[in-house]
Structures are given as C-alpha cells and as structure tokens.
Structure 1
Amino acid sequence: MTGDPRLPGDDRGGPRQPDPDLAGQLAEALRGAGSPYPVLAEDDGWAGSGPAVVVSTRWSPALLSRLADRGTGAGGSVLPVRFDGGTALVGPLVGPDSATCLRCLEAARLAAPGGRTPHGDAELRLGGRPAPALLPVLAAVVRSALAEPQSAAARLWVVPPDGSVSAHPVAPVGVRCGGCLSRQPAAPPGTPLTGSGQPPADPLRLRRPNPATDLAGLRRALLEPRLGHVVQLHRHEGYGLPVTRAVVAGPAVTVAGFGRATTAAEADRLALFEAVERLAGYAPHGPAARQWASFAELGPEHAVDPAALGLPDLPSAHHIPYAPDVPTWWVPGWSPSRATPVAVPEHAAYWGDLGQRPSATFLSESSNGCGLGNSLEEAALHGLFEVIERDAFLMAWYARTPLVEVALPDELDVVGHLADNLDLLDYDLRLFDATTDLAVPAVVALAHHRMPAVGAPTAFFAAGAHLDPLSAIHSAVVELVVNLHEVRDTWQGDSARADRDRLLPMLDDAALVRQMDDHMMLHCLPEARPRYEFLLGAGRTRAWREVWPGLPRPVEDLAALFGALCADLHHRAGVEPVVVDQSIPELRQALGLHAAKVVVPGTLPMTFGHLNRRTRGLPRLLTVPAALGRLPGRPRYEDLALHPHPFP
C-alpha cells in the first residue's frame, strides 16, 4: 500500500494526473464484451450525467467520495477502479439508491493493517498502476460487477499483482468518516440508564440473552481481513485452555481481544466479544457532545473532579499538572446514584490516542472500567466489576495487607483442572480474599513456583471481582494460568522480554518499568519475592462459603441490580460511579451490543508504566486496610510500599 502525501503533480489543491492511457486500455479490454458503461479517466469530464467506469491512478479517499457524490446526486452510477501500488481496487458500484460511503470504506481498508497508515486522513494521497498482464483479469472483474449491479453495490474486489481476486462485503451505512458521523444523531448530555426489567439468562454470569452474539453472528459482523473491525483470529494451544486472540483494525498500537474457554469455539466468541470492548474504549465512535472547559467552570455538581481520579504521583512530560482552572476536553457521563448528567474528562473516558495536545491531559488512562453487554446497564455492571477488582488488588499491593486464603472450590471443575495443570509444572495455585469496603467479592490469584530458580518464572498474579464469588474465582484463575503458560514459553526461549539483565535493574529503579509487560515480567524473577511475601503466610485456609456467606443472591433484573449497587457504593464507601456510553453505533444496531466506561472517583486506578502511577489524593488507600482489620493502624502515605505492581 502506498501513502505518499505528495505524489508528483498531485500537491494538495493542485492538479491531478489520471492516466487516460490506462483507461483506454481497460476500455479496449471491455469493448469486446459489450460493456454498457463507458470507461473514463477521472479528468475526462464525467460529472454524473450517466453511468461510467471511472479509473483513478492518483487519488485520495476524499476525491473518491466526491466522485461518488457526483454520481448519486445526478442520477448516474459509477464503478470506481483505482490502484494502490500494484493492487487494483474495484467497486463498490455507487448509484442513486446507494447507502455506501466510499470514504468510510477506504477508512476501513486502510485501518486493517493497523496503525501504520493514517487511515483517518481523507486527503491521504494514494496511487499506482497495474502490470499490463493484469488488465485482462481486471476487465473480467469489471464485467462481472456490471453484470450484477445489486451485488456490486455491496462488494469491493481486490486484485493484487499476482492476479488473484477476492471479493469483500461492504457495510451499507458509513460511520467511520467525519461526514457520516456528523449525520448521526447528536449524543445527549449523558445517557440515562433506564433498564428494561429483563432478567439475565445466566444469573451467575449476569448476561442477558442475545442470539445475535453467538459465534456465527459475531464472525459475520466483525471478522473480515480487508474491511472488518477484526482482521484476524489467532488460536493458541498448550496454554491449559483454548485461547484465541482477535486483532482489532485501526489503532496505532496492537489491540486485541482475548478469549479463554473450555472449547475453541467459545474462545473465538469471547475474543470477538472482547475485541468490540477494546475498540469501543479506544476512542469515540460517534459525534460526542464534547466541551472544552475547566473543572472550575463546570463545577462539582456537573463534572467529575479530576483530582478524585488520582493524579500522577510523579511528573511526566506527557501531561501537565492539574489545577481546577486548567481546561481540557470533557464528554458526557451519567451518575446512576444521582440520576443526572456528569461530565468526565475525555482522556479519562477513553484510553487511546485522542489526537489531543499534551497540554490537554492530566493523566494516563487504561481500559480499566470498560465493559460490553447486551444493554448499557449490563455493560456498565461488568465495567464496574473490573474497577472493583483492580482497586482491591492495588489496595492490597500498595498497603502490603495480609489476606485470608481461600480454598480451591470443588464446584468449579475448570479450576481443579487448571490447578492440576499447574501442579505438574511445580506451581501452587493460591487464592486470597481481597474484598474491600466496596463489598463486592474480590479475589487475588497467585501461582507460585515451589522451587524458585532462574530457569523458570517464579510468580504470577491475577484478580477477579463479581457478585458471585465463584465467577470471581473462575475469572482470576483462567487469566492467571493462561498468562503463566504464555510467559513460561518466553522464559524458556532466548527472548529480550525475559532478559534478566534487562529486568533486574527494575528492582532498584522503578522508572525502568515502562510497559504493561514489564510489570508482570519483573515479578517472574525470584529476587522479587520480598515484594509479595506479605501474602505467603496467610494462615488457615477457609472455604469460599465461609468467606462470603449467603452469596450469590438471586438476580431478577440487571438494571435494578446495577442501580442498587451504585447507590450502595455511594452510601457505603462515598464513591459515585459515573457511566460513559462508549457504544459503537453500527454494532449497537447490528448486534445489540452496548459499551460503557465506568469511572469511579476515589478508587485506585490501574495504570501501566510506573511513572503513570496514580495514588495521591485517594484517602481510601490509607483508611480502608485498617478499617478492615488488615493493618493494625492507619499508615502514613510515606510508609507505603509503592513498588511497581505485578498485575498482568
């Protein structure tokens, strides 16, 4: 693929240089077949007065879109043929009744390889020409498209230099370019959570029924190597369970959803499901009602106080120090406990590259609190569980609080299987109750090598939180074991990722812990044991029903459950969840999937890269461990062991 922003003779605003000879050669190849459409170069004067095949050798997504607009506006039909290097792109056929946006189509195509191409730039200059031997193949594709106009309106044909041909379905409604987004209904100033009263299909997993999100439905809506939201599915074996990675198109960093399950098909489904969550939380996908303001201008009744989100402990070149009168971008959120709109800093609501100036951001955010569901309440509920899980983990880690050990439950066969799997590798699987004042069961899982040695990773951690303790345990153990197998393979190979000479200095210089992976890999070293030794002498192991008596309780309505949980958190712990609707409009319409980010001021945020750590201004870190009886008294902030966390 080419993307030269200054092709010769094609400067921004300058003259274009289509290749009339190429159009003539293609016309000659089609003439013998009696093609009903003339074949024109882009500068041959075609203005939509009749049907045409229009050939472009130098073009941009915006020029392509304007070409189609001329056709649809004047009642003609156009079949665009353009070239990206030596690859020919044919279609889709655009006519008066077409709903296809060619700018959105090109944004999707350019996003498929990942962030290497500026797919959001409508003026990106592209071009190329085919080898002469490709013309007969290209002519055959054009003839086929013209012979079936209804099918051609929903297909993009790709003809690479080797002469192979592939057809790719095109989404009928565009939502990936600024023009289409501007025609979407404006976002309200906060999405109220009203609920439908529908009970969950599975009271333990807390998911509503949705036949559209079975594996076939998700594959059909998401997976397409040239134009899809998900461009690849990778299956991994030997990890104790089937594992699938679903690679998301577009972001500048590699983004993927992961599925871990007892069958490969369910792992595929869960990976696709999580891929939507990742995509939705990366950046806005609709015309959000953004506003540029300071917290002082908005006021505490109408906006989340950025200081209550936890500000960076250490200075960073990527952010500026927060002050109430410093402006930033805000997006609408909703407070269920107060039933009112509440604005949230955009860089706290989305974790990806928002294209903002560094001066607009006060902190670095992760995907913590992002959830996906078959309603907005369901998505928010699962996002809230994630916030609670990570808050509990970080509170135990930073305050070094001993935790009650929980026996492995007999009720979960998969946990027993994975514990046996770890035992064969000389690891002990241990579970700990990390539940905080938020009163939602939270579990820390630890796999610890019985014979620590340089030749094997020593310790792995994971966590889970859920109103059903067994669901929290299941989530933590599955993630733990899969991560262990993946890192163990790396550890035994010759990889810079597991290089002791790279990792050991991080024990003395926390600033060297820069990436998400560093947090986990550092604690694979046997020398890191003193950091987590506070967990290892837990004493008597208790059954899960003894630790969480009376749970889980039956659930009849997810919306009512979420509302009651938010009210309880506000009353019990003084924290107020705020929900940002991150739903992708086309996937909400096609699959009934909603996405949400739950922001809970006052909780400990999960960050990656030690310089992004955020613990200042969060008094629960100092008060809750002592209130729960895990510490003899309230610690001073200066006494906390703020080492890099080991969360994966």
Structure 2
Amino acid sequence: MKRKTDVLTRNPHYQFIDLSPDRGVAIVKNDVEVQQVHGAAAEILRWSGTLDAVAIADQTLFPLAEIYGTLAALESGRILVPEGLPPQSAGDTELERAQLQSELTHLSESLARGATPVRVVVLGDYLDTAAQGERQPGHPVVYVGSINQRFFMGPCATADTPDALANLTFWVKFNDRAHQMGGTRLPTSSGNGVVALPVAEIRRLVADELARYYAGEAPLTGSSLLAADGTCGRHFFQNALGAAPDDRGAADLPTPASIRIDLSAAHTDAVGRTVTPEEFLAAHRHLVSPLTGPVVSLERAVENSPEDPVQIFFSGHNWAVSDTKPEVLKRSLRSTSGGKGLTAAQAEAGAVGEALERLSAIAFGTERRVQRRFTDLENAIAPQRIQLFSERQFDERIERNAVANMYNWIPERFDPDALIDYTPIWSATEDSVAWLPTSACYFMFPSGALPAAAIDPVGKRFAKADSNGVAAGATAGDAAFQGMLELIERDAVAVWWYNRLHRPEIRIDDLGDAQLTRAQGWLNAHGRDLWLLDLTHDLGVPVVAAVSVSHHPVNGSDHIMLGFGAHTDPVLAARRAVSEVFQFYFSTPLAVRSGEVHNIPNLNDAMDWLVTQRLADHPHLQPDASAPSAPRDGDLRPNADSLIRLLTAVGLRPYFLDLTRPELGINVVRSIVPGLRSWWQRFAPGRLFSVPVSLGWQLSETDEGEVNPRAMFF
C-alpha cells in the first residue's frame, strides 16, 4: 500500500475533470477515450495535497480498507503514478515569474539597439482571462505562458492584431476537455498544479527569437506558439473572433443573393475535386495542433502500413458526436474524425477535411439566424421533414432515449408556435430563401469557449443537427456535390438495411480496377472475404455496400465489417465502400480481431455488432444469386448540377447552407434534401417504404414493426 511517504499523483499524461458530485470524475486518456469513476475513486482523484489514506477516509467517510484498495487499483491502472518532482509553492513561482519578467524586459531593450522594443509579458496560465484586459498592447507585445503545465512563447500582438491573445485562449479553451465536458480540471501534481518555471529554457527561446526579429531575419511568433522545451514545432492558431451577421432580432430578412452559393464545377477531376490532395494539405496542414488547432491531430491508424492498399488517418475529436456524457461517446465507431484513401495524401486530406467540416458546423453564436415562430416565416421547413421520425417513435421517445445513443435520440414533437431560432437556407431550384430551425443546422453543445447565445435551448427540444450532408471542399460546388452524394448514399443504405433487401453482387473482377483487386487480395491474405452489393436505387447514382467477413468464426461471430460508398462513377463508389471496410478494420483493436478478447463491457455499437453477429442471421448481407452482376457505366457528371437534376426528377428539392468560416480557409456546405432518409432509425412514411415497391423489389411496403431491428451503427 502507498502511504503518505510514498507520494502518488495523478498521471500527468491524462486529463482529470471533476464533473460534479453526482457525475464523478472523468479521466481522459487521449482525445476520445474517457473513463468515468465515482465513489471512493472520485474522492481520491479530487483530493488536494498528499494522498494520505487515513486522512481521505476520515474526511470522505469511506472505509479505510476501501480507500487502500482503491488507491492500489488506481496505481495498478496507472491512473496514479509516483510524483516526479517535489511540489513547489505558488509564492516561489510568482517570485520567479516577476524576476523573469524584469530580466526579459531588459533583454528586449538591450537587443533593440534603438528600435522600438518588443514588450515581453510573462503570464501564468494562458487561460487566466481575468488579467488579460490589463495587457492591451501599445508597442508589439509577445507573451510567455503555460498550458497544462507546459510553457510557451507567443503569440505576438501588434496594432494590426490586438486580439492575438484572445484568439489563442479561445482555441485553447475550445480544445480543452474540461471546458467541453462542463467540468473543472484537476491538476496533475501534488503541488496543486504549480510547476517549476523553466527559466533557462524560456530565457534562451526568447533571446533567440528576439535576436532574429531585431536582425530582420524572421518575424515574431505571430499567431503561433513555440514550446520552451523545444519538444515540438510551432502551434498555429486562427482568428476566432470575427463576427458573422446576427439577425436574431432583425426586421429585414436576407435576400436570396445574400445566401446564394456558387455551385459551378469548373476544372473538377474524376472524383469531383478541384484541387489535388497534396495541394489541399499544403494549404491546411498548419491548422493541425493539439493545443491551438482547429484540427487537434493527424495520425496514421495503428497497424496501418504505408504499403497497405488503403491508407487510414485520424484527426481528433468528431464534433458531430460531441456529448458531455462519456457513456454516449463510447457508442460510436466514428467518435474521431478520419480519412481514407489509396495514398497517404488522400487519407490525410480526407482526415483534415472531415475535422474542419465538423468544426464548421458547430454553432459559435455568430451564425445568421432569426428568432421567430414557424408560422411567421414564409417557406419555413418543419424539422420533421428532415428528421423523419414516425408517430410510434415519438410516442416511445422516453423509453427509446433511455438508451445512450446520440444518433437515434428522438426529439419532442415540433411545436409550430414555439419561439425558436431559424437559419436561412438557399433553394437552388427556386433561387429563394427558406428557413430551417438553427438546431437542425448546427451542432449545439455546452462549451466554456463558446457564448451562451450559441445554443437555442427551446429549438434543441425539437431538432438535433447531425453530420448528414455536411462536406468540405476547395470550392462550394465541390462541397455541395460531396454532401449530396452522402445524402443519396445513406438514403439508399437505409432502404436496403431496414427492409433487409437482397441486392445483386458487383463482381470486383468485372470492374477492372487494380486497386480494388489489390484490396480484396490483402483482406483475403488477412483471413477475410470481401464482396460488393449494388444498392443503387431510383435516383440512379451508383451506391455500393462492401461486406467483409472472417474466413472462420471468431468466438461464434463472423466478424462482419461493412463499408459504403456513392459516386457518379461506380468504380469510385466501390473504392469508397472498400476504403470504409479498411477504416472499420483498423479501428478495431487487434485483440478483438484476433478473438483474444471478446467479452468486453461497454462496447460501442459497431464493436458489439462485430463480436456478436453471424452472417447466417443477416441474409440481406449476401448477394442475390438470382440477380446478375450489375456494374454501371459512369455516365453522370461529377458535379452538383447533375445531382440536383436527378433529385428534382423524382420530386425532391435540394437546399444548401454555407457553413464556411473564412478564418479556416475551407469551403463547407450543408446539403439538405427533405425526404431523403438518413441511415439511422427514422421510420416515418416515405421513401424508406415506398421505393422498394416502386422499383419492384417488394410486392408491398414493410410494416414499421417488421423493419430490421438492428440500427445502423456508423
């Protein structure tokens, strides 16, 4: 047992967030892995000062034996680790900070040699916003401060960039898990979070940077941070304070011209993109930073090799599945943003693009919106036309919502007399303004970095935005094309999945694509079969499902992995579907794939599917042997206009919302097509039931009580 002479502290590689007395303490082990503890463990992690079992038991009223046992368990799990450095008093650190401030001031003046000296301001924590108002820059000001007990130099504020420090603190708060989860960060040292000031390292860094600046060799840190310990390069950040129009109380509503989106598609490649992945990365890689970046990371999937036929990269938290409840975060395979492709550049570009598109769809509080009643607005769209829940689902919403699944959360029935926020969206076919509840347009969740005005608490009762149809691109037309493809793909998947339809196989050999053949061979060499199903429905856009199963059952399961893709070119649709299978594969821990571990508590929905399901119980996953192989010629143009024509031909009207945030430098568009179904559980009457009958795939519509009870888990 560890007693008071054997000092333990919270693991400095983790984050510890005190949620509340009833919610316990959250332990964040990486960007998405969250463990929540209660009882004695929570009290131990909250303890301030030296961890003394007797004192903790005395003050918390937990039995001493339980405290000892919990301490041992926390240590064995590396939640608690031996203290590395002796605690340092806050008074000593404040004195050192004052001395360092004086020293750096003299250093800057001596290096200036008659030029206007740069003022160096030594902060404590960058998030100490209470004192920031006192530091308005006159001459150039460069800051030195700490984030999570690491020290940095930057940013540099000038007359042209007076908000540099405020912009920095915005992104630090935005990426901080304590602010995201609505809790209080617990320090990771027994000295209450106060760590020794690395005076020598800071002095050397500031001297080097100032000398280069005064010599005209390099600008100061600008909108970036430099680590004092030299362990990493620059951390860039973007302006976050530019205000967009706030029309919440405006009398004059927007005109079509003010929200119109340019859907032109000049110079697109076969995929529908206007720049190469390499060009995209060159323009946006600087946005990646765990501290200050709109994209917090960019890492290759574990076990994914550069020699593998499909490359997989992940790029940090997926804001589309943000939730303050750790038990909800666990339920999604897509709790991180990611990208896949045949080359590393394609995968990295996809991962960065997905992270930026999800970030752009967050309600920052500056979005264009008005507060009205449904009946007050012309061309307002009720959220039910987008969400498509059935009356039965509304009736059972309390019971269904008791299951922690963010995708299948059911809102209240819409009240047209409720005063809520509406956002203007553009009708491409009518060139007119329509209105959709803002809560259906933007992700809304509490965050200490965002103003309260970002959230419409009444609107959130009736609609919850998801990522369906949100896409990024080098141009708005590029983004709109990709977003509509996603809507069409998921509508086709829903029609197939919930009706459990037998669909024909697309033989990989018939596609004549070397990349697909190589991917199939790789999976076969790793003990897995792969086949493709043609899910293309009435819209005529090729939609493909890729199904991969283990050659041999693993603990009674066939380890079924799925992937989906849509594109105007059937080969590209197939590549996308197969790439998703690889993403599923590399998102699955090796111990699970090998069968070494199969009895795992708290599995997310995708992993539960993987380790429990057998192919024999899901006949719709196998090809319809009576139907011919059906590869289609790619005779559709890869642009937004071609998809709009297909949609309007079957009576569907597309709308678009420009989500682009200029400070990020990437176009993001939400495509909205009332009537198209997402692939989650949405059982209102409509295309889900009528399309199979109209195409002759079924004689009659499936009853709601007979749909596939297994929800799509992506």
**Identity %, equivalent residues:** 22
Matched, 1:138 2:202: yes
1:622 pairs with one of 689, 695, 698: 689
Deviation digits for residues 128-176 of structure 1 (CA, Å, limit 9, x no counterpart): 76536x333333334344442662251655556xx557663544x622x
Match in the other structure for 2:644: 566
Match in the other structure for 2:388: 310
Q: Which amino acid aligns with 1:644?
A: R
Matched, 1:26 2:100: yes
Alignment check: 8 A CA contact 1:462 1:647 kept:
no
1:633 pairs with one of 671, 685, 700: 700
Relative contact order (alpha carbons < 8 A, sep ≥ 6): 1 or 2 greater? 1
Q: Secondary structure at the match of 1:322?
A: coil
Q: Output aligned runs, 1:395-434, within 5 Å.
A: 395-408=495-508, 409-434=510-535
Alignment check: 8 A CA contact 2:421 2:459 kept:
no
Q: Which amino acid aligns with 1:96?
A: A
Matched, 1:329 2:421: yes
* CA-CA distance at 1:388 after TM superposition: 0.8
Alignment check: 8 A CA contact 2:143 2:155 kept:
yes
Alignment check: 8 A CA contact 2:439 2:465 kept:
yes
- Structure 2 alignment gaps of length 5 or more: 1-14, 20-90, 324-328, 402-408, 446-453
Matched, 1:341 2:427: no
2:171 pairs with one of 108, 114, 133: 108
Q: Secondary structure at the match of 2:498?
A: helix
Match in the other structure for 1:287: 366
Q: TM-score, normalised by structure 2?
A: 0.70
Q: Which amino acid aligns with 1:522?
A: W
Q: Distance in 2 between matches of 1:542 and 1:521?
A: 33
Match in the other structure for 2:661: 584
Match in the other structure for 2:283: 217
- Structure 1 alignment gaps of length 5 or more: 6-16, 39-48, 504-516, 608-612
Q: Distance in 1 between matches of 2:674 and 2:246?
A: 31
Q: Distance in 1 between matches of 2:386 and 2:235?
A: 46
Match in the other structure for 1:97: 160
Q: Which moved more, 1:462-471 or 1:230-239?
A: 230-239
Q: TM-score, normalised by structure 1?
A: 0.76
Alignment check: 8 A CA contact 2:471 2:669 kept:
yes
Q: Distance in 2 between matches of 1:634 and 1:97?
A: 64
Q: Secondary structure at the match of 1:116?
A: helix
Matched, 1:599 2:672: yes
Q: Distance in 2 between matches of 1:76 and 1:454?
A: 68
**CA 1:485–1:456 in structure 2 vs 1: closer, same or farther (change >3 Å)?**
farther
1:117 pairs with one of 179, 185, 204: 179
Q: Distance in 1 between matches of 2:16 and 2:203?
A: 23
Q: Which amino acid aligns with 1:194?
A: D
Q: Distance in 2 between matches of 1:458 and 1:119?
A: 34
**CA 1:292–1:606 in structure 2 vs 1: closer, same or farther (change >3 Å)?**
farther
Matched, 1:273 2:374: no
Alignment check: 8 A CA contact 1:368 1:386 kept:
yes
Q: Output aligned runs, 1:201-600, within 5 Å.
A: 202=269, 204-209=270-275, 213-219=279-285, 221-236=286-301, 237-238=303-304, 241-248=310-317, 256-281=336-361, 283-284=362-363, 287-299=366-378, 301-311=379-389, 313=393, 314-316=396-398, 319-351=411-443, 353=445, 355-357=455-457, 360-408=460-508, 409-454=510-555, 457-484=558-585, 486-487=587-588, 489-492=590-593, 498-499=598-599, 517-519=604-606, 521-522=608-609, 524-527=611-614, 529-530=616-617, 532-536=618-622, 538-540=624-626, 542-545=628-631, 548=632, 551-553=633-635, 555=637, 561-572=639-650, 574-588=651-665, 593-600=666-673
Match in the other structure for 1:151: 219
Q: Secondary structure at the match of 2:342?
A: coil
Q: Distance in 1 between matches of 2:438 and 2:502?
A: 37
Q: Which amino acid aligns with 1:244?
A: F
Q: Distance in 2 between matches of 1:499 and 1:390?
A: 31
**Residue correspondences, number:** 572
* CA-CA distance at 1:582 after TM superposition: 1.4
* CA-CA distance at 1:477 after TM superposition: 1.5
Alignment check: 8 A CA contact 1:580 1:598 kept:
yes
Match in the other structure for 2:143: 80
Q: Distance in 1 between matches of 2:149 and 2:615?
A: 53
Alignment check: 8 A CA contact 2:546 2:577 kept:
yes
Aligned CA-pair RMSD: 4.0
Alignment check: 8 A CA contact 1:369 1:387 kept:
yes
**CA 1:188–1:229 in structure 2 vs 1: closer, same or farther (change >3 Å)?**
farther
Q: Distance in 2 between matches of 1:577 and 1:397?
A: 24
**CA 1:480–1:351 in structure 2 vs 1: closer, same or farther (change >3 Å)?**
farther
Q: Which amino acid aligns with 1:569?
A: L
**CA 1:24–1:102 in structure 2 vs 1: closer, same or farther (change >3 Å)?**
closer
* CA-CA distance at 1:325 after TM superposition: 2.5
**CA 1:296–1:311 in structure 2 vs 1: closer, same or farther (change >3 Å)?**
farther
Alignment check: 8 A CA contact 1:605 1:614 kept:
yes
Q: Secondary structure at the match of 2:397?
A: coil
Deviation digits for residues 507-548 of structure 1 (CA, Å, limit 9, x no counterpart): xxxxxxxxxx41463255345742x21343612463444xx3
